[in-house]
Amino acid sequence: MPSSSKAAKGELHLQFQLGEDRYALPAREVVEVLPLRRLKQMPEAPQWVAGLFEHRGRMTPVIDLCHRVLGRKALARSSTRLVLVRFDADLGERSPVLGLLLEQATDTLRLTADAFQASGLEAGLPDYLGPVQRDAQGMIQRIEISHLLDDAMRALLFQPVAQG
């Protein structure tokens, strides 16, 4: 069994699955992990936009990452979570918050930054699919939150609120 100092090495990540594959989000970008809840639908938005809900006085858009990546809605299971993330980590607390529906988002793990490697397929993949690394359970790929939405989707989901 590894010593606690070795186990503590690396950055904490939230692990989840898309289909049979494992993915990770850096925990520093995660605001909160919530159970599933009812969302207000957003008519005419892309199908992978799951909806909108109010969280701490703010309207928060939610995307279904399974639907975006795999073309099917996330399964409503006890391990499926609504994960709130900072969309632009560089802005810190001022960053817009985005909700992600993620399957099997119940575990955390520590991953070292220098163990992540380019997949070699970057030219043909969406920008949000980050580098990969191998651990005892196989391959895991990092999701780059800031690249999940293009400019048009950012404008749709994060419209400035009019002051009245």
Model pLDDT for residues 51-88, shown as the tens digit of each residue: 999 998 889 999 999 999 999 999 999 999 999 998 87
Helix and strand tally (H, E) in the chain?
3, 9
* pLDDT value at 164 more than 50: no
As given in the structure block, the two tokens for residue 98 are: 């985005």
**3: pLDDT confidence band, cut at 50, 70 and 90?**
very low
Per-residue pLDDT of 24-58, as tens digits, reads 999 999 999 999 999 999 888 899 999 999 998 88
Are the C-beta atoms of residues 69 and 59 closer than 8 Å to each other? no
Per-residue pLDDT of 94-137, as tens digits, reads 778 999 999 999 999 999 988 888 876 666 678 888 899 998 88
* Res 7: pLDDT: 47
Q: Domains of the chain (ranges plus CATH)?
A: 4-148 (2.40.50.180)
Are the C-beta atoms of residues 155 and 38 closer than 8 Å to each other? no
Under DSSP, is residue 79 helix (H, G, I), strand (E, B) or coil?
coil
* pLDDT value at 21 more than 90: yes
